[in-house]
Amino acid sequence: MFEFLSVLWFFLIFILIAGYFVLDGFDLGIGVLSPFIAKNGEERAILRRAIGPVWDGNEVWLLTAGGALFAAFPNAYATTFSGFYLAVMLVLFGLIVRAVSFEFGAADPSWRKLWDVCFFVGSLLPALLLGVAVGNIFAGIPMDAIGDYAGVPLLGLITPFTLLTGLLGLVMFLAAGACWAALKAPLPSPLQERAARLRLPLQVIALVLFVIVSVFALGLVGTEMDPALGVLRWLFAALVIVGLGASMMVGKMQGNDLKAFLAQSVAMIALVALLACSMFPTLVNATADSVGPAITIFNAASSELSLTCMTIITCIGLPLVLAYHVIIYRTFRGRVKPEDLQH
Amino acid sequence: MEAFADVALLSRIQFALTVAYHFLFVPLSIGLGLILAINETRYYRSRKEEDAAATKFWVKVFTATFAIGVATGITMEFSFGTNWANYSRFVGDIFGAPLAAEALFAFFLESVFLGVLLFGRKRVSPKFYMVSAWLVWFGSCLSALWILIANSWMQTPAGGELNAAGNEAVITDFWAAAFNPSIFARYTHTVDALLIMGAFVAMAVAGWYMLKHRHSDFAMKTMRIAAVVGIVTSCAMIVFAHASAVVVWEEQPTKLAMMEGQYETEAPPLYAIGIVDEENQQVIAPFAIPGGTSFLATGTFDTEYPGLNDLAQTEEYSDMVVEDMPVGLVFQSYHIMVAMYGLIMITSILVLIFTFKGGRIRQMRWLQWLAVLSPLWPFIAIQTGWITAEVGRQPWVVYPSVSGPDGVSLLTVDGISMSVSAPELWLTMALFVVVYLILLIGWARVIGRFIKEGPVVDGSSTLDCQLGSDAVAEDVVVEDVVVVAEDAAAKGGE
């Protein structure tokens, strides 16, 4: 039972991460794209309204993933958050100024510029650094005997490989943001056109980066992977390519914005699933020179009773969370209309 | 200077600063959430345009406050891992679950229905909108429950045991851990304080408009709601505060001794004010009721209670170095909190009497000024209350409480992140100060704007509002007619 629960929680953590990447992914992407695709106050307001009712709930996925990691694998939570200290702090400051600038920007015209910059930087930092963090737990970090990070702060986390994973993450978020903007902006409008036109180049770059990162991961990084999951890995890798490809194809035609967004989201989920299958059963890999061993579900999992309680909590909570999401996305379905802009 | 390189001290300062800042905004959102929900219920019943405008006003104030509360709350969740890695390893088996549950049960609920409040007036039915307002408030209270479960477990651990290796607290009974000995007292005590805060902020806004002779209907309605919520929550506080004190008495002897500056074993006296002379280990006070604290806790004046020096001799509390204990800080925080409660009670009673006694508060400028200043009392009480609770827990991060399981305790210095260095802490501390200051100024500007604008009846809220604005127009017409008639009468008189 204990082993089953540990495995279950390994995948549940990645499901929460996938939920975060898909949902907050598009609003992080919009935050970064906003200065480039919104040319005036009204267009900025449309983008604001496109993510306004949902961004806060989307961000909660990250908090849930963090809390779940803390509860299910305390050692992995402690090692990554303290080991990636400055990087986590940059993500944190990003999320803070982003949340606040989103609410303050509209209410304070004379500080508008400052909040707009905060919203951009606050979206860019997490969008880039989350991928860097993923690259590090995959490629491995040096740890001491009790599992504390033993490398150089911040700079030690930035290698060609982790930079590439950071960029891949960023471009995937941007593509998702472009898809969401194209889906929500009024039709026809210059903003909608701009967003829709951005999808293709972003997705092409994502595809190229995905191939480079995969080759890099298989060849140079050489992380050991569970052979039993080999088939799944190929399947999910194919699904990333198919998802991105399908999004590009349908995105070429008018009126397919929802399909383009969904296909992009499938690619994002497949990417996280591929990562999970490449990592299993490890949560944080160790480099060759690491004193401490890799952090796995076997040496980091909480007790059976703790995991059982967490499973019960999830069985009650997750259906509620899904219901809330259905409510909010249904309530605010459809494109943003001019009369929505005064709320 | 050693202190500059002391990672444990710097981590404590950083946590203290960030959590105190976070707790500027949490009380406002939970307190104002209730005021907002009551307002929306009033609108739901009356369908008057000005009640919709009142809700809209509170939604704006609430949202700006909530945003900053949510954002600075992320810091808290992250900080267990970033700054307190060894603590996280020690308690993760028990402490993590409430945090995850908080996100799952409370954060999603709050954030989704706040989205409805902010953007959904025209999209959902009035009933759904009102229910959303209550759900946002309910979500924030639920969030407080889970985080206080976690915090209370650090004060009075239960439902766990030390593992065989001696480096982790492992859960043995989920319900015992969740409903640990101090949770009920501490939850009611805290949430009630937050509701007092909300009521007093509403009072202050109403008082301000009365002083400025603006929005007089809104001001009077708000004052009535705030007076009722204020008196109910202030009176309930007597029960909750007493229950909290009794739990400290039963479970946390070193904290109680610090609260009353008690170094030697005796029947603790009751001080209203005083200074702790930490060097000579005594309290200098103008007057004291002998055995007074003993009476409050047990009903008798002569129940002896161990002082810090005797407690330090026991095995349980032998890690405590009496000379290093911040007794003065805990003593003063506790007594300031109690003094603030006195002001809260006086303000509540005065506002209640003069609001409902024919609305005389409308003419009483001094009482309006008192209402404007009154949020300071709960604000100071809340901050000093938390200092009492958390500094009083030192030098432990997981307190060895009287009924706690053997070995399930951790010194604060043993909870830090070994991989984080002092320069990194200084860097992030500087960033926190700069970013948080900008946010505070930004928040004050926004709130200032909202208060200056006031509740605006713009006729855009619902379909009903068209009726509302027509009615207003009719009133204006009637007034004009009256004026014209009076003018005519005056001319006729000439």
Interface confidence (ipTM) of the complex = 0.92
DSSP label at A286?
A: B
Q: Do A66 and B81 touch (CB under 8 A)?
A: yes
Q: Which residue, chain included where needed, has tokens 């309930």?
A: B236
Residues 146-185 of B with CB under 8 A from A: 168, 170-172, 174
Structure tokens at B25: 């905004």
Task: Provide the mean pLDDT of chain B.
Answer: 88
Q: Report which of residues B37 and B5 the model is more confident about.
A: B37
Identify the residue among A17, A89, A111, A152 best suited for mutation to test binding to B, counting B beta carbons within 10 A and taking the highest.
A89
Distances in Å between the Cα of A127 and the Cα atoms of A32, A279, B341 are 8, 21, 46
Closest alpha carbon within chain A to B112: A57
Q: Which of B61, B44, B32, B37 is nearest to B453 (CA)?
A: B61
Cα dihedral A193, A195, A200, A204, rounded to 10, equals 160
The percent of chain A in helix, strand and coil, each rounded to the nearest 5, is: 80, 5, 20
- Give the pLDDT score at B298: 80
Taking the CA of residue A292 and the nearest CA in chain B, the distance in Å comes to 13
Which chain A residues touch B159 with a CB distance below 8 Å?
none
Give me the count of residues in chain A: 343
- Which residues partner with B399 through β-bridges? none
A63/B81 Cβ within 8 A: no
Cis status of the peptide bond prior to B98, with omega within 30 of 0:
no
pTM: 0.89
CATH number of A2-341: 1.20.1630.10
Instruction: Give CA separation, A224 vs A138, A220, B75, B122, in Å.
Output: 10, 12, 34, 55
Which tokens belong to B201? Answer: 């902020």
**If pLDDT is split at 50, 70 and 90, which confidence band does B186 have?**
very high
pLDDT band at B1 (very low <50, low <70, confident <90, very high): low
- Rounded mean pLDDT, B108-123: 90
* Distance separating alpha carbons of residues A333 and B139, to the nearest angstrom: 24
Contact B109 A324 (CB under 8 A): yes
Which residue does chain A place closest to B427, by CA atoms?
A: A86
Long-range own/partner contacts, residues B212-215 (CB < 8 A, 24 or more apart): B214/B454, B215/B454, B215/B455
Tens of pLDDT, residues B192-241: 999 999 999 999 999 999 999 999 889 999 999 999 999 999 999 999 99
Contact criterion met (CB below 8 Å) for B381 and B344: yes
CB–CB contact A328 B112 (8 Å)? yes
Helix (H/G/I), strand (E/B), else coil: B460: coil
Query: Tell me: the pLDDT tens digits for B448-475?
Result: 999 998 898 765 544 333 333 333 333 4
Sorted by sequence, the CB contacts under 8 Å of residue B7 that are 6+ apart come out as: B416, B417, B420, B421, B422, B425
Q: What are phi and psi of B476, to 5 degrees?
A: -60, -45
How many Å is the Cα radius of gyration of chain B? 26
Residue A287 near residue A142, CB atoms below 8 Å = yes
- CA B6 → CA A85, B1, B9, B196, B343, distances in Å? 17, 9, 5, 38, 39
Nearest-CA distance from B18 to chain A in Å?
A: 12
Residue pointed to by tokens 């209402």: B371
Q: What is the pLDDT of residues B45-83, one digit of tens each?
A: 988 888 888 998 999 999 999 989 989 999 999 999 999
Q: Residue B430: its pLDDT value, please?
A: 94
Are A320 and B109 within 8 A, CB to CB?
Answer: yes
pLDDT at site B254: 93
- Kindly list the residues from chain B whose CB atom is less than 8 angstroms away from the CB atom of residue A107: 60, 64, 446, 449-450
Q: Who contacts A129 (Cβ-Cβ below 8 Å, separation ≥6)?
A: A87, A90, A91, A94, A166
pLDDT, position A72: 93
Rounded Cα distance, A336 and B493, in Å: 61
Residues of chain A with pLDDT under 50: none
For chain A, how big is the Rg over CA atoms in Å?
20
Local structure of A302: helix, strand or coil: coil
User: What b/e readout covers B2-25, taking b as 16+ CB neighbours within 10 angstroms?
Assistant: eeeebbbbbbbebbeebbebbbbb
CA distance B11 to A109: 37
CB within 8 Å of chain A, chain B residues 23-82: 60, 63-64, 67-68, 70-72, 74-75, 77-78, 80-82
Q: Is the CB of A156 inside 8 Å of chain B's CB atoms?
A: no
What pLDDT is recorded for position A339? 78
Please answer yes or no on whether A320 and B439 come within 8 Å at the CB atom.
no
Selected residue of A92, A148, A154, A316 to mutate for chain B interface (largest B Cβ count, 10 A): A92
B116/A331 CB distance under 8 A? yes
Partnered with residue B283 across adjacent β-strands are: B276
For residue A153, the chain B residues in CB contact (below 8 A) are 421, 424
The answer to whether the Cβ–Cβ distance between B107 and A305 falls below 8 Å is: no
Residue B470, pLDDT score: 35
Q: Quick one: tokens of B161?
A: 């045991």
Tokens representing residue B229 in the block: 């919520």
Q: What percent of chain B has pLDDT over 90?
A: 63
Would you call B343 an interface residue with chain A, using a CB distance cutoff of 8 Å? no
- The closest CB to that of B70, out of A99, A146, A325, belongs to A99
Tell me the pLDDT tens digit for each residue of B368-414.
Answer: 999 999 999 999 999 999 999 999 999 999 999 999 888 899 999 99
The torsion angle over the Cα atoms of residues A330, A331, A337 and A342, rounded to 10 degrees, is -150
Residues B277-315 have pLDDT tens digits of 888 888 888 888 888 888 887 888 888 889 999 999 998
Contact flag B64-A103 (C-beta cutoff 8 Å):
yes
In Å, how far are A27, A261, B264, B292, B351 from B288, measured between CA atoms?
Answer: 60, 71, 16, 8, 31
C-alpha triplet B290, B293, B294: angle, nearest 5°: 85
